[in-house]
Amino acid sequence: MSYELGVKSLDIIVCVKSVPITTEAELIPDKTRKSVILDNIPFDINEWDEYALEEAIRLKERFGGNVTVISVSSRDIDEVILKCLAKGADRAIKVVDRSIMEYDAYIIARILHSIIKNMKYDLILCGAQASDDGYALVGVMLASLLRIPYVTMVKRLELINGSLRTIRELEEGLEEIVEVELPALLTIQTGINEPRYASIMAMRRARQKEIVAFDLKSINLAEGDFDGWIRIQEFFTPEKKKECIMLQGDMDEITTKVVEILRQRGILK
């Protein structure tokens, strides 16, 4: 029996975040020391979310249905959304507000919950974590608020007669199999698939697709919901304790420098 039997179509929601690409950037705390300076640093879709989106699109291609991308962001998110739509998402919902920068995972999950609770869905996919803050909290908090089951760190999934068999990554090559009934939320680990490329032409064409913008003020959160659980005290660069010096020059010059350093430190006499 094919494991695809029993599933007619899937409505999938993917939560995506726009994150700074900091691999090559020098991060410096700003004046308040509560944040870092992100000027001139390019932003892109969070890597984990890109894998979650790819998984959603593959499920859609197999079973039919719809993929909706949702993003709650403190800065312009259009490029990331167009990329998601270009790859195959059907529609996008965005909540963009400067104040979101100060919000923690709980408030983000609350905002997402207030939108998603009114939507029809079978599956919600989130990245296992975000590359900027790395909390890995929004997905599980959102599932708890929606009162649906969740599985974290999913590296493989199969659909069997309307329930979902997920394989979680544990340590030392060990895997755990967890079965959940739909609707459910999964947080997706990188490497679960090979995300497809979104061409510039496809991104241009994606402008035709539906993008719904929600005003943060129009989202009726209960009193206290905008009170976060986490407050950042300070960003700082850790004190340098060990240093790696790269010696330049030809073999003779490098050897001379090494001997000099070893003498200075009393290792060679």
Partner 1 sequence: MKMYSKVFLEKEELKVLKGLNFNFCIQCGKCTASCPMFLRTKLNPRTLVRKTLYLVSQLKTHPPLSISDIDGVWDCTTCNTCTIQCPRDVKPMDIIISFREIFIERGNIPPTISKALENIYKFSNPFGLSSTKRAEWARDLNIKKPSKESKTDLLYFAGCITSYDNRAQNIARSLAMLLKNLEIDFSILAENENCCGSEVYSLGERGLFEVIMGKNIECFQQYKIDKIVTTCPHCFNTFKNRYKLNNMEILHSTQLLSDLIDKGKINFSRRMEKKIAFHDPCYLGKHNNIFEEPRKILENIPGVTLLELEHSRKNSLCCGGGGGRTWYETTGEISRPSEDRIKEAIDVGAEILAVACPFCLLELEDAVKRMEYENRLQVLDIVEIIFRSLLSEL
Nearer to partner 1, 43 or 150 (CB): 43
CA dist 58 and 260 (Å) reads 60
Bridge-based pairing of strands 175-181 and 18-20 is unpaired
Among 36, 136, 202, 219, interactor with partner 1 by CB under 8 A: 202
144 near partner 1 (CB under 8 A): no
Nearer to partner 1 among residue 200 and residue 245 (C-beta): 200
Q: Which is nearer to partner 1, 182 or 202 (CB)?
A: 202
Residue closer to partner 1 (CB basis): 6 or 191: 191
Query: How many CB atoms neighbour CB 39 within 10 A?
Result: 5
Site string for partner 1, 21-40 (x = CB under 8 A): x-xxx---------------
Residues 213, 69 contacting (CB under 8 angstroms):
no
Q: Is 19 helix (H, G, I), strand (E, B) or coil?
A: strand
Tell whether residue 219 is a contact of partner 1 (CB under 8 A).
Answer: no
| Number of residues near partner 1 (by CB under 8 A) | 21
Q: Among 151, 153, 186, 198, which residue sits at the site for partner 1 (rule: CB under 8 A)?
A: 198
CB 125 within 8 A of CB 188: yes
List 1, 201, 244, 251, residue binding partner 1 (CB under 8 A): 201
Beta-sheet strands, E only, within the chain: 10-15, 18-20, 43-45, 65-73, 91-96, 123-127, 150-160, 163-169, 175-181, 184-188, 210-214
Nearer to partner 1, 22 or 163 (CB): 22
* Interacting positions 88-107 with partner 1 (CB under 8 A): 88
Tokens of 34: 């509560």
Rg (CA), the chain: 23
Residue 168 interacting with partner 1 (CB under 8 A): no
Residue 71 near residue 77 (C-beta atoms within 8 A)? yes
By CB under 8 A, residue 81 contacts partner 1: no
Is residue 249 a contact point for partner 1 (CB under 8 A)? no
| Residue 58 vs 209, nearer CB to partner 1 | 58
Amino acid at 190: T
Query: What are the beta bridge partners of residue 169?
Result: 175
Q: Is 104 left (phi over 0), alpha (psi -120 to 50) or beta?
A: beta
* Interface with partner 1, residue 197, by CB under 8 A: yes
Interaction between residue 42 and partner 1 (CB under 8 A): yes
Residue 6 near partner 1 by CB under 8 A? no
Stretch that binds partner 1, among 17-25, 116-124, 172-180, 259-267 (CB under 8 A): 17-25
Q: How far is CA 131 from the centre of its chain?
A: 7
Residues at the site binding partner 1, with contacts judged by CB under 8 A:
21, 23-25, 42, 44, 58, 61, 87-88, 194-204
